[in-house]
Amino acid sequence: MVDDSQADRREALKRVAVALKRSEIPYALIGGYAVWARGGPESENDVDFMVAAEDAKEAANSLVEQGFEVRHPPEDWLFKVDTDGTTVDVIFRDSGSPAERSAVEASGVLEVLSVLMPVLPATQLMVQKLNALDEHMCDFANLLSVARALREQVDWDQVRQQTGHNDFAAAFLYLLERLDIVDRPTA
């Protein structure tokens, strides 16, 4: 059963996706709802989209022109879009670096809540989630269900390569190997 906050997030996801599509600026659904669109558990937090850093200002302006309230919080890597009491994050930094248009454009189009939209590939979703792990945010419980749900869609060798600098990611990948969720590295 869908509760009111879930229904509100879903509606906000659709509204912002359609508005970004109208703007013709490349974008992609990322985060928990991208995981959900690819068969994982539904996010209980927020809705996240990504645009290239070079397109962020134009995307924000387009959303304002379409009647959305856009806020620029102190964090310099996103802006927030308010729609009917729900906030959607539009992120323009990917794992600490400016988001590249090529990463956004590499997203495959999926039908999400009856709207066709680009959704970040499962491999890149795992890379983002693992690179976000640090001593302040290291919750393996939620990641475990994501990894189980997406495991066949993920290139785990690529994930290992792109997260190799992060000891928390390495520990999580080791746990996945020990639980036989993913195979050990091929090389």
Tens digits of residue pLDDT in 36-62: 999 999 988 889 999 999 999 999 999
Considering 70, 98, 120, which residue would you say is the last residue of a domain? 120
High-pLDDT (> 90) share of the chain, %: 87
Domain that holds residue 180: 121-187
Q: Which of 100, 120, 140 is the last residue of a domain?
A: 120
Quick one: 95 exposed, middle or buried, by C-beta within 10 A (0-12, 13-18, 19+)?
middle
In a shared domain, residues 85 and 156: no
pLDDT of 187: 64
Please, which residues bridge with residue 175 across strands? none
- Is residue 11 located within the same domain as residue 84? yes
Q: How many domains does the chain have?
A: 2
Mean pLDDT computed over 82-101: 91
Q: 79 with 154, same domain?
A: no
| Residue recorded with tokens 């937090």 | 45
Q: Do 1 and 82 share a structural domain?
A: yes
CATH number at residue 105: 3.30.460.40
Query: Would you mind telling me the total number of residues written for the chain in this entry?
Result: 187
147-176 mean pLDDT: 96
**Same domain, residue pair 139 and 110:** no
Whether residue 131 sits in one domain with residue 99: no
What pTM value is reported for the model?
0.94
